[in-house]
Amino acid sequence: MMITATNDFVVKFANVNGSGSASANQLFAKAIVRMGVPIASRNIFPSNIQGLPTWFEVRVSGEGHLGRRGGVDLMVAMNPQTWDRDVAEIDPGGYLFYDSTRPIPRSRFREDVTILGVPLTQICNAAYTDARQRQLFKNILYVGALSALLRIDPAVIDTLLAEQFRGKEKLVQANRDAFGMGRDWTLRNLDCPIGLTLAPSDKVGDRIYVDGNSAAGLGAVYGGATVCAWYPITPSTSLAEGFEKYCRKFRTDPATGKNRYAIVQAEDELASIGIVIGAAWNGARAFTATSGPGISLMQEFVGLAYFAEIPAVIFDVQRAGPSTGMPTRTQQSDVLAAAYASHGDTKHLVLLPEDPRECFDMAAQSFDLADRFQTPVFVLLDLDIGMNDWLCEPFAWDDTSRMDRGKVMTAEELEAGQVFGRYLDTDGDGVPYRTYPGTHPSKGAFFTRGTSRDRFAKYTEMGAAYVDNMQRLLTKFETAKAHVPRPVERRAAQPTRLGVLYYGSSSAAMTEALAALRADGVHLDAMRIRAFPFHDDVLEFVARHDRVFVVEQNRDGQLRMLLMNEGGIDPARMLPVLHYDGTPITARFIQGAIADRVPSLNVVTFAGAAAE
């Protein structure tokens, strides 16, 4: 039976990387947003520049689901290399759109799928003589065809083209013509619309459509960062580039035109974090942006910042590892590497944003945390959040807020005779006072070292002094629990002894999966973890439930291991749900993985226990 739906379906584009399809696919996605219909778009692309397969998925959801659903209702098959795989992915009753210029054997199609053939190459060859124009405008042609098949408002496309090519009227008109050719041919030759249709809506509201890397870059500006040192690596490069773009706008002196920021592309990741630590030691707010391989290279300097207690912010846009792994695929595989980075006993603050709005918020917050606790802070995005556009709430900023620089002793305090010990805990929270270089001509100076020392920064190898310092660092870490973002709990509709923990980009798919499980009679309390160290609420949540699923996008269940290590939790109580093929997790995957295991758990519900 043919699938029919309005504002609730999945379209997937199968293209060749480097064919110019990206801008056309984004045009398609943005047109739906402009019609007021929520979408979730995901770009799945190869690590080479040109030639390998690439996919772009648009999940249309009038209900506002922002995670991947799983399955495909309409496949736009533009890559002969992946044809069989793409056709197989279509849900029964779905649709297959393709370039019908060259005949394809009937055996390559499916009987349970509606075929939509448009001779795109033939139309382009008749209209254009330049080979590159033929390729590029073929992409716009299929957007025109899809607008007829799905009822996309052509006026919206027209407006978007005018915005995209503002000031280049020839390009605007050329794209309008190509769009019109595809749309007109389809209206004349195919039954329009198909069973999948779009209808104007107001469900987008005031939400914005933005990627997490840009959001984090802007958040760093609002957080007071003035120094960025980085080495290019997928998928974090656009975060540093976004910071530079926003600095040009907000950190340039209007009177002199001089930059009030410094951005250094270092020779490697180790040099990058070294520059960050040096800038922060001198009083600047500084950060680096990297991914898993960069974190591996930064270990020694991260340990120095932890032990010498120097602020630093590290944005880790996670990808699939280990080693080079899959550079353009997403994972949550650096959780343990960030939490315990460097040799020896270390524990670092880790923030776990769920979407671009939280990327902005946590980016700004990370600099306050780094200064307050004089320590490295990791902000763990992933490729899915970082490089894909998401619908999210508009960014908000309190103009009355001021930077929290933590415990910094001033020249006046030193002059008044206040005792200064660089590693002296004066109030029991584990956080000592520091001074900036040059604070006072004769007081408040200290030697910064990575070797052991006493409370007054004097070198020593006495075991008691070392233990005293290491215990104080643990006290500081414990204090941080009250300052990092708290977890968000969602209670089930009825009492239950089953729970689920999740974090980061899994959030959107998790929300939809919870609703589907509830409809099937499976009720779970849910908690989204937003930071490490874990708030007491997290361990209390686990204690309240007989079994807790832990949903992650890595192979080894890294958050689960971190919970066991930090909370002393019985491993049998925490059930891993692991997705790590490099594509963003789907609601169907989570729903299936949990539903399949619930019957075997023999967990008695509260209602059932009362009845007994």
CATH number of 210-392: 3.40.50.970
Supply the pLDDT for residue 385: 98
Structure tokens at 202: 């107001």
Ranges for all domains in the chain classified under CATH 3.40.50.970: 210-392
**Amino acid in the structure at residue 598:** V
Task: Give the number of C-alpha atoms closer than 13 A to the C-alpha of residue 84, restricted to the C-beta side.
Answer: 4
**CA–CA separation, 386 vs 216, rounded Å?**
9
Ranges for all domains in the chain classified under CATH 3.40.920.10: 5-197
Task: Give the number of C-alpha atoms closer than 13 A to the C-alpha of residue 385, restricted to the C-beta side.
Answer: 33
Question: Where are any strands of DSSP class E within 394-530?
Answer: 488-490, 498-502, 525-528
Edge-to-edge order in the sheet of strand 90-99? 39-44, 53-61, 8-16, 72-77, 90-99, 114-118
SS3 53: strand
| Digit-coded pLDDT (tens) for 538-564 | 999 999 999 999 999 999 999 999 999
Ranges for all domains in the chain classified under CATH 3.40.50.920: 488-611
Supply the pLDDT for residue 52: 87
Supply the pLDDT for residue 1: 86
CB burial readout 331-346, b (16+ within 10 A) else e: bbbbbbbbbbbbeeeb
**DSSP annotation string for 454-466:** -TTS-B---HHHH
Q: From the DSSP assignment, how many helices (H) and strands (E) are in the chain?
A: 20, 22
The dihedral built from the CA positions of residue 287, 289, 295 and 297, taken in this order, carries a sign that is negative
CATH number of 5-197: 3.40.920.10
**Cis peptide upstream of residue 485 (ω within 30 degrees of 0):** no
Q: Name the one residue in this structure whose structure tokens are 């650096």.
A: 334
**CA–CA separation, 115 vs 93, rounded Å?**
11
Question: Residue 65 in contact with residue 228, Cβ under 8 Å?
Answer: no
Class of domain 488-611: alpha beta
Residues of the chain with pLDDT under 70: 49-50, 603-612
The dihedral built from the CA positions of residue 506, 511, 514 and 516, taken in this order, carries a sign that is negative
Stretch (H or E) spanning 286:
strand 286-290
**CA–CA separation, 430 vs 578, rounded Å?**
37
Question: Residue 346 in contact with residue 320, Cβ under 8 Å?
Answer: no
**Amino acid in the structure at residue 207:** R
**CA–CA separation, 69 vs 509, rounded Å?**
7
CB burial readout 512-539, b (16+ within 10 A) else e: bbbebbeeeebbbbbbbbbbbbbbeebe
Supply the pLDDT for residue 49: 67
Give me the long-range contacts of 122-128 (CB less than 8 A, separation at least 24): 123/181, 123/182, 123/185, 127/177, 127/178, 127/181
Task: Give the number of C-alpha atoms closer than 13 A to the C-alpha of residue 602, restricted to the C-beta side.
Answer: 0
Question: Where are any strands of DSSP class E within 134-276?
Answer: 196-197, 208-211, 227-230, 262-265
Q: What is the DSSP letter of 252?
A: B
